[in-house]
Structure 1
Amino acid sequence: MDVDYYSLLSKAVAGKDVAARDQIYKEAYEIIRRSRLAPEAASSHVAALDDAVRRIEDELAVDEGRGAAALDEVLATGRSWKPLLAGLCALVAIGLTAVLYGYVAGKPKVTASAAKMARASEDIVMADLKAGVDGGSSGDGLPFAFQRQVVFYRTTVVPGSIVIDRESRFLYLIDSNNSARRYGIGIAQECLKGGSFFRVTNKFEWPEWRPAGANTKDADALLASTGKPGSPLGARAMLLDKPGLLIHGTNSPKTIGHLVASGCIRLVNDDVEDLYRRVSLDTRVVFVS
């Protein structure tokens, strides 16, 4: 941190009265507050600024007589110092902003991979509702980003294909003209890794689902919910050409955007029905991370 606040502020407050100096000091503190520095760095800047303000005010107090005389002269002439004050305030603001920007720009950047690792360490698996419990079919209660919408999306993937962004929890149905229909998804841990290129091999309405290792009672409960809004596999499913890999609905809309405990790639029922209508067999599916 090489900011000479004393020299910078001494020039800015030269010839100013108490009110004008206070305003300039406040501008300097406000610039530091808006700089989004790390707490330790911001504290260092504030401490340096405090020290500079104290030095300037102590020196002015020692020379109070001369300062008072200068102020009387200004008042006697009736000269307006507002334009000069505004100009100097702008000058000190620009100077401080430039210095602080240089300091921030010089800080190490957080890489995308580091950000993904941080997210993975914080991500938790969201619990599902029980089979037969209808949590709703709409995504209206989700954050806006996870609600179905058309977005700008530049890609070399052929229109009509599906792109699944594992990290961001989005499924894109690619359209022409750099656009895509985007859906929020939940993703199971088992589907975070693996290949990248697949195709749709089959489509089901209200599919049956017997999870591996389920006892007879659990399996019967799941089958009993098939064909109803409480089905854990949802209203539609699209099977891909890899065992266990499928796109499906859910009876737990609040799990969208999170890691989930079962299934693979899930959408709310309204969204999976919309996607189901638009997708044909052999549609290309591309996974990206």
Structure 2
Amino acid sequence: MTVDYYSLLMKAIAGKDAVARDQIYKDAFSLITRSHLTREAASSHAAALEDAVRRIEDDIAAEEANSAAAINEVLLTDRNWKPLVIGAFAVAAVIALSALVYGFVATKGPAIVSASVKTSSPNAQRGREDVVMADLKPGVDGGSSGAVLPFALQRQVVFYRTTVVPGSIVVDRENRFLYLIDANNSARRYGIGVAQECLKGGSLSRVMNKLEWPDWRPSGANTKEADALLAAAGRPGSPLGARALLLDKPGLLIHGTNSPKTIGHLVASGCIRLVNDDVEDLYRRVSVETRVVFAS
């Protein structure tokens, strides 16, 4: 069945601001995820919905840009320019807010078409890479759910075209996503945080071991810090979270965290982190020897 998402969404967002539109988009994607459609049908509907959202946000951005151009033209006539300058600044602020919302939506389904899994580098849209997010102290439980995260970083099934074998893991360190590849051009996507030590190096790896509530004593840590980490291990509040996938290269692992708000950012410890609910979901779906591809 073909659904005209563009027309449906246009009616739903009429008169809504950027924040309200983003919530409507989120609800629409959530409805598809909770539906009883086949995996192939759900992927097709998600792709169509994403295309409609992009068209709508492009149209809105174009209309706002035209409004700004009209204001500039009037300014050149020197007619009552002070109120118009104030109006121009207001329009610019609306455009900036719309661009931020569109940026979240646009990250839902990056298409990867080559075997080397090439990804985009929207550094101009993010300033988060250069800021290391502080962790909660060991033993402090910041929660296990990704509900506190922006929608784009929450666990979801997305359209994802790649030649990587289904069942493999793709880690997009730059864009802060981990993908568990499925068939039919789809993948299960998780938001991640990345430690500085794990930003570079390696392109292919595999899962060597799986651990529940892993224990960790960081190298170079003083005795007091190490004891605090060990005391927090095996329960909520552990810096390594509820589960860990150890890879075949020293220092490389995928793990949970006691600091869910650090997801989507550069982090101070560990390696590739997910919120606990997500790492438990990933843990259940993969096995030892699962292939891991690090996108460059």
> Fold match, TM over 0.5?
yes
Write the letter of the residue equivalent to 1:275: L
Match of 2:179?
172
Write the letter of the residue equivalent to 1:180: A
Match of 1:4?
none
| CA separation of 1:121 and 1:231: change in aligned 2, threshold 3 A | closer
* Contact 1:32 1:42 (C-alpha < 8 Å) held by counterparts: no
Match of 1:47?
75
Match of 1:181?
188
User: Any idea what SS the aligned residue of 1:36 has?
Assistant: helix
| CA separation of 1:218 and 1:32: change in aligned 2, threshold 3 A | closer
Is residue 36 from structure 1 mapped to residue 36 from structure 2 by the alignment? no
Matches within 5 A, 1:1-289: 34=63, 36=65, 44-48=72-76, 50=77, 115-116=122-123, 119=126, 123-289=130-296
C-alpha displacement at 1:154, in angstroms?
0.8
Distance in 2 of aligned mates of 1:168 and 1:32: 24
* Contact 1:32 1:45 (C-alpha < 8 Å) held by counterparts: no
User: Any idea what SS the aligned residue of 2:65 has?
Assistant: coil
Write the letter of the residue equivalent to 1:179: S
C-alpha displacement at 1:42, in angstroms?
7.2
Q: How many residues align?
A: 198
Distance in 2 of aligned mates of 1:254 and 1:51: 49
Write the letter of the residue equivalent to 2:210: K
C-alpha displacement at 1:207, in angstroms?
0.8
Detail structure 1 runs of 4+ shifted over 3 Å in the superposition.
31-35, 41-48, 117-123
Distance in 1 of aligned mates of 2:61 and 2:170: 43
| CA separation of 1:192 and 1:43: change in aligned 2, threshold 3 A | farther
Distance in 2 of aligned mates of 1:288 and 1:245: 15
User: Structure 2: which 5+ residue stretches go unaligned?
Assistant: 1-59, 80-119
Q: TM-score by structure 2 length?
A: 0.61
Q: TM-score by structure 1 length?
A: 0.63
Distance in 1 of aligned mates of 2:123 and 2:150: 20
Distance in 1 of aligned mates of 2:263 and 2:73: 43
* Contact 1:137 1:253 (C-alpha < 8 Å) held by counterparts: yes
C-alpha displacement at 1:116, in angstroms?
2.1
Write the letter of the residue equivalent to 2:65: R
Q: What's the C-alpha RMSD, in Å, of the aligned pairs? A: 2.7
Write the letter of the residue equivalent to 1:46: V
Match of 1:28?
none
Structure showing greater Rg: 1
Distance in 2 of aligned mates of 1:160 and 1:131: 33
